[in-house]
Chains A and B, each alone.
Chain A
Amino acid sequence: MTAALEAAECGKQVILVEKTPTLGGRTAQLYRYFPKMCHPTCGMEINLKRIKGNPNVRVMTMTEVTEVTGSRGNYAVTLKVAPRHVNENCTACGDCGKAVASEIADDYNYGLGKVKAAYLPHPMAYPQRYVIDPSIAGTAEGEAAKAACKYDAIDLGMKEESVQLTVGAVVWATGWRPYDANKIQPYGYDRYANVITSVEFERLADPHGPTGGKILRPGDGKEAKNIAFIQCAGSRDENHLRHCSRICCMASLKQTQYVREAWGDEGKSTVYYIDIRAIDRFEDFYQMVQKDATVSFVKSKVARIAENAANGNPVLHGVDTEGYHRYATEHDLVVLAVGMEPEVTGVKLPDDIILDSSNFIEGSKDGGMIGAGAASSPLDVNRAVQSATAASLKAIQVIHKTASTEAA
């Protein structure tokens, strides 16, 4: 959104292509930001307002780039638009949702809850328009949803479309995804209900989340007060992600404060870490958390997790390396600070895109395509915005230079 808006507000024409049904990306799924503990939706409201008011931005949701040909200054982009089955007539009145009974996994809550198969992804969703899940598109339920709509907004016959565009520069702001925690075998994410990921924990703490903001563990709905945070779950690891994902230390420090917010002095957070990377002025947040009596730190990469079958508590095994102390510690809930994997990992990209060893986008050989934000490096929101602003100017430079060459 930043790359698009910054260019648009310089007077350039921008097409913003988004794979999911709404804008906002992963930040829209965060409860609070570090270090201010403010809400991501606040900045999103401003950005959405900018988008709504700016005629230079055209937003295409549920759309993916399938091919880019051509070169700097003159790219032909092929887009694949998935059927939303809901057109611009939708007023988000919600009648279709009421007419539908089947439920699907709630992506907004990382599958921690369910949502109707005719749904508005979340209260801040933009475009503010419902989505009919493909699973009911050809069914009686789909018809029921259509019948419930007074505004002729539901089109069950919508088909996948292919769209061609010509553009001068391409900014890849494709972001990241949480590393698949199932691959970290010793931590038992696939086996133990009370081992969750950091992104899931955001949803548990969020009043818009599946528990209404109560920190209840998934295994048995019990209040989780004694929580372990395991750093570098997948990051800094030759067996998983080779890079450091940068945000996870600060994210866990932030999440210890969710525990405090929820339970006060009764809460207990333990952070298991290798190095606390509270870089630059975030250091004061770390110092603040260190002074919090409910938070303790153990310098250790946890070796493995077992489960206490009697109460469902995860038991962490490892060694505190500061002085060599062996531990087997039981917690109510374990939060894995999972790393950032580029969303484009495993996706076929145009040939001249340059990736680094972790699949982050460095750009294209001729400079006409630019990586931005977390697609270019594991970045926090602030740095991602900075990077996207810079990427936006690089794109403008491409347009400017190729246009002036053409003119000459």
Chain B
Amino acid sequence: MDRLPQTSVQETPTPDTGSTLPKLSGWRQYKALLRKDIAQEFRTKEMVTSMGLYGMLVLVIYYIALSQTGLGFDITRIAAGLLLLMIVFTSMLGLNRSLIHEHDQGQLEALLLAPIDRPIIFLAKATTNLLFLVVVQLVVVPFFYVMFVAGSLTIHLGEVTPGPWWMLAIALLLGSIGIAGVGTLLATISVNTKGRDFILAVLFIPVMFPLLLVLVSAVNAVILGGSGYEATFWTMCAAAMAFNAVMIAAAYALYEFILGV
């Protein structure tokens, strides 16, 4: 926070431009907002730890739920669904937290008072959310793999031939982009309501429904492999990209109306 005034001082005009302050360029505003969120996170470490811990707890719950399935049960068949479920839960928690701060400490009002373009607030917030989601997934997804997929793969060797790991990364990244983009809009709505996290869940799940559907299909194709899995994977990724493009454009355009009041 303390660096912010400095940056704005640096950007203040040279005296000869007159009394009116020229606006910062969009890119600089974006960078400043990004820096603010990341600096805040480095200090409190609240978002990443709470999301990561929550993700781990979901894994524990999976372990309990699957504890009676026995060795004959091939978890890889349902691993895609479990993985996406974990990501949905952790991201809902994170989205909610990311804006509760802004709201409760009056940061959002301060941002609105500052001469910053509103779409830039959206882009910066969505980018930081995406960043935190990716960081959390980098930690939690390997744990998920070790706990549930790796063991099952050795037992059911030959039945499943998983695709390369970077394909999984692409699918999860596409998912995170969609979740962060549209989720930021929904979280800004829900943080201003009485129900907050409950309202976020009610709004978030139906909106994310098509994206989660194709992502489960894509991740499933990678984990199970088999003949022609690449075609399925790329079709589903294209579908996810189309969803992201349309919905993030809509969220970008509509964000102004949420902040405006």
Does chain A bind chain B? no
* Residues in A lying within 8 Å of B, measured CB to CB: none
